[in-house]
Structure 1
Amino acid sequence: MRAILLVACLMYAGAAQAGPPAEIMARGSVKAAVSPNYAPLDWRDPATGELTGFDHDLGNALGKQLGLTIEWVPSTFEQMIPSLETGRVDVILSAITDLPSRRGTMTFVNYYRSGPQAFVRIDRAAEFPNNAALCGKTIGASRKTNYAKEVATWSQANCVANGKPDIIFAGNDGPADSRLQLKQNRIDAGLQGNETLHYMMKLEPNAYVLVGEPLRQQLAGIAFPKRSEALRDAFADALRTLIADGTYHKLLDKYQLSTNAVSEVTIDAGQ
């Protein structure tokens, strides 16, 4: 019995001391892909050109907790996943949604909640008292996201099923394109992650209003290759520490993202 208890204690101690892989620790850094065009999570300070945002600050805090430097690798959204799969970067820390369809090659540490949120020009606010008013209208959003599928699913369940016309989805190049198309009356509403909207409305005050609630809730994740479970688990443990000591919530508050907080760290929990 004593021998069994000794083995169990040693196994527990080994698990408690688990950290980043030896090759990462020897290098002293983690290469993290970031697409700096998604404020307030990822963007460049217009005054200095330096990377900034919630992801940047959180990533550096996680690195410090792990005794590692985060080596940021700016990238386009389209390049991030191939870079992760081919080993050019170790992680993606750039507001990527944890989707089951992405888990063939990736695994995620879920670190904030998001949701596709519709918004309209303020002069049309009265036309859109709730999400149901979107039925039969044209919504613009980035074609790089899964929002076309999200809109179609929501529309079928909430518009078509109730005898209302389907929502028309107009794919575009991103949030800036949506705002331009709204101003030009080419679309009726824009759609983007609700985590970005407070920042957007601060930049353009009295220009837009939100419509109802997000169409659904999603989980964003720090993405790792499937083969990098040890590094993933080390980041998950570091994030748990930052939640416990208050750092995580201070950073969320700094970027007006407190409503996007997760209450616990999960792995591959996005739906």
Structure 2
Amino acid sequence: MTVGSQQTFPPVEFREAGSQAVTGASAELLREVAKRLKLRLDYVQSEYAALIPGIEAGRFDIASGGISDTEEREKTLDFVNYMRSGGAMLALAATAAQYKSIDDFCGKSVATLLGSRVIMEKVEATSVACVAAGKQPIRAEQLPSAPDARMQLDLRRVDAYLGDLPALAYLSSQFPGRYGIVGGNYIMTPYITSWGFGKKATELRDAVKTGLDEMLADGTYKAIMTKWGLEGGLLDKITINLPASKR
């Protein structure tokens, strides 16, 4: 079972500095699923924007590492949904208190990951509203990886880094006093973090869902999510192709 992942998305799926081993909540869940299916789990590093093309090209069997289920993406992939999440905003601690939501970023700069379509749709819609109100638009920069986006924030080239709330909260905890989450636990865009499968890979998709169903029933799913501080993202039912827009 080959998994494509950006591997820079703590605490969901990432590599510790100096290590080649992929860890995090998603990695542990997939390892347990693979064990129950009697399959070997192999990882392929891939930039976030290349995850869906990678499935289409047959580079791997599963797209992982923070990809979310959307109605648009379901035209290309099927999804097994495993976590509730949402887009949030990270700013430097010295400026975070100035902002409450994305609406406060007219005339400001933000960074996010290439392929973050849900977040970019929100940024673009807010930017249009900024202009309609006689304000400057939001300037958005899309970058290949989370470290690239964070570096732009550290260098003050952007005013905020937009990403998944669990990842931003984890990042903030690693550098006490350096960053702040805009608006506390403000969710800019709710979504369902998922694993993506090719449209013809229904057998593998259904087997992975069945494995996760078993883990939900016996408590393994909750234990792994809680270990990584993601108990707030627990789903009460494992689903296929059920994005936030349909919940």
For the criterion TM > 0.5, the same-fold answer is yes
Matching residue within 149, 164, 171 for 2:121: 149
Matching residue within 20, 45, 56 for 2:16: 45
Query: Contact 2:47/2:144 (CA < 8 Å) preserved in 1?
Result: no
Answering whether residue 238 of structure 2 is matched by residue 265 of structure 1, we say: yes
Q: Which amino acid aligns with 1:220?
A: T
Query: Contact 2:6/2:65 (CA < 8 Å) preserved in 1?
Result: yes
Residue 145 of structure 2 is matched in structure 1 by: 174
Residue 6 of structure 1 is matched in structure 2 by: none
Question: Identity across aligned pairs (percent)?
Answer: 29
What displacement does 1:121 show?
A: 1.0
Q: Which amino acid aligns with 1:114?
A: S
Equivalent-residue separation in structure 2 for 1:85 and 1:236 (angstroms): 21
Q: Which amino acid aligns with 1:239?
A: L
Deviations 1:214-264 (A, max 9, x none): 211011211111112222122112211111211111111121112222222
Residue 229 of structure 1 is matched in structure 2 by: 202
After superposing the two structures, state which structure 1 stretch, 47-56 or 226-235, moved more: 47-56
Q: Which amino acid aligns with 2:124?
A: A
Equivalent-residue separation in structure 2 for 1:75 and 1:196 (angstroms): 18
Equivalent-residue separation in structure 1 for 2:122 and 2:62 (angstroms): 26
Residue 100 of structure 1 is matched in structure 2 by: 71
What displacement does 1:204 show?
A: 1.3
Equivalent-residue separation in structure 2 for 1:221 and 1:73 (angstroms): 17
Equivalent-residue separation in structure 2 for 1:48 and 1:174 (angstroms): 18
Query: Contact 1:154/1:215 (CA < 8 Å) preserved in 2?
Result: no
Q: Quickly say closer, same or farther: Cα 1:77–1:170, change in 2 above 3 A.
A: closer
Q: How does 1:118-157 map to 2 (within 5 A)?
A: 118-146=89-117, 147-156=119-128
The two structures, once aligned, show a CA RMSD in angstroms of: 2.3
Equivalent-residue separation in structure 1 for 2:47 and 2:198 (angstroms): 18
- Does the residue aligned with 2:189 lie in a helix, a strand or coil? coil
Equivalent-residue separation in structure 2 for 1:48 and 1:143 (angstroms): 25
What displacement does 1:183 show?
A: 2.9
Query: Contact 1:112/1:262 (CA < 8 Å) preserved in 2?
Result: yes
Query: Over alpha carbons, which structure has the higher Rg?
Result: 1
Q: How does 1:189-268 map to 2 (within 5 A)?
A: 189-212=160-183, 213-268=186-241
Q: Which amino acid aligns with 1:87?
A: G
- Does the residue aligned with 1:206 lie in a helix, a strand or coil? coil
Equivalent-residue separation in structure 1 for 2:15 and 2:79 (angstroms): 25
Equivalent-residue separation in structure 2 for 1:93 and 1:244 (angstroms): 23
Equivalent-residue separation in structure 2 for 1:167 and 1:85 (angstroms): 33
Deviations 1:6-34 (A, max 9, x none): xxxxxxxxxxxxxxxxxxxxxxxx22222
What displacement does 1:58 show?
A: 0.6
**TM-score of the aligned structures, taking structure 1 as reference length:** 0.79
Unaligned 5+ segments in structure 1 are 1-29
Unaligned 5+ segments in structure 2 are none
Q: Quickly say closer, same or farther: Cα 1:129–1:91, change in 2 above 3 A.
A: closer
- Does the residue aligned with 2:66 lie in a helix, a strand or coil? strand
What displacement does 1:82 show?
A: 3.2
Q: Which amino acid aligns with 1:152?
A: E
What displacement does 1:156 show?
A: 4.4
